[in-house]
Amino acid sequence: MKYTIGTKTLTINLPKDINVTTRNSAQGKTYVYKLLSGLLESNSEYKKQVLLVNNISSKEEYASVLSALEKGGYSLVVFDRADRYMTSELMGCLLKIQGEGSAVVLLDLKNWNSYLGLYPSIYEIQLNSPKEVVLNVAYDF
Amino acid sequence: MINIYLYKENLPKNLELIDDPEKAILAVPMVGSDFQKLIIKEVEQGEYKDDTVFKDRFGNCLYYSDLSTGSKIMLLLEAFPKRVINCDEAGDNAFRYITRLRECNAYFSVRSALIDYESDVPASLNGVGYVSIGDINCFL
């Protein structure tokens, strides 16, 4: 998938699997999230297909996200700061929609193994420049 | 002393918890301490400029609110040694600089933390004292 807005280009090369990114800080994860947000704000067609979540701080917000996921219709789901609010229930829902064909990107989940009992493979976001971000991610058990 | 707390039930009741580093960073005075400069340089690959902005790895000046969450956590650990900081979102490359601090309180709610580094500063895990942070490895 390739998105362009102004002088910025975001290329997302990923299989339709749940993806886990590096355990390190300052890798560009939130930058990717902000870039996606900016891209989607200007493109109503993409906006309908993508769900972006950068925090869940209340039970109401959690219920709302869960409801949106269960309703479905997203080709791409991106969660930032997933460590703060991820639960087994939410992870189960993500696995389900991933199985149905959605791409799920967890931009900050260092405790993957807490939810699935599996230690994640570590992948990187390549922040080549402020104008180009390439997501090369894969998930491998 | 470097105090590590794992899981909510082990949090000390007499210390205030800073649970969201993204919100709390605004309270950190960016005075250009050695530790602040170290974190910005080593974790962000940037450069401290003044009390409002830093230079990122591409040469752009950004506000400190644009730092990575891991960097914010480390700055909070230094700035508020008497409070407990939620370190769940601190990456390994940032958290290892805890060895440069003499006093702080770090909390992990879920984390499978691996602390494979040493410091000469005494440490504790859930209130139990150890000679140094490296000794805690055995019990994580």
Of B60, B70, B88, the CB nearest to A84: B88
Contact between B128 and B8 under an 8 Å Cβ cutoff? The reply is no
Of B22, B70, B110, the CB nearest to A25: B70
- CB-defined contacts A:B, below 8 A: 60
pLDDT band at B19 (very low <50, low <70, confident <90, very high): very high
Q: Which pTM value belongs to this model?
A: 0.79
Asked whether residue B111 carries a pLDDT value surpassing 60, the answer given is: no
DSSP letter for each residue of A25-46: SSSSHHHHHHHHHHHHHT-HHH
pLDDT at residue A61, rounded to an integer: 94
Residue A36 neighbours by CB distance under 10 Å: 23
pLDDT at residue A135, rounded to an integer: 52
Amino acid occupying residue B39 = I
Q: Cβ–Cβ of B111/A110 closer than 8 Å? A: yes
What value does the CA radius of gyration of chain A take, rounded to a whole number of Å? 14
User: What average pLDDT does the segment A40-68 reach?
Assistant: 84
Residue listed under structure tokens 């703060």: A84
SS3 for B133? helix
Which residues in B lie closer than 8 A to residue A84 (C-beta atoms)?
Answer: 20, 88-89
The more confident residue out of B48 and B117 is: B48
CB-neighbour burial class of residue B65 (10 A; exposed 0-12, middle 13-18, buried 19+)? exposed
Which among B8, A81, A67, B36 has a CA at the least distance from the CA of B46? B36
Find which of A20, A21, A22, A25 to mutate to test the B interface (most B CBs within 10 Å of its CB). A25
| B85 in A contact zone (CB under 8 Å) | no
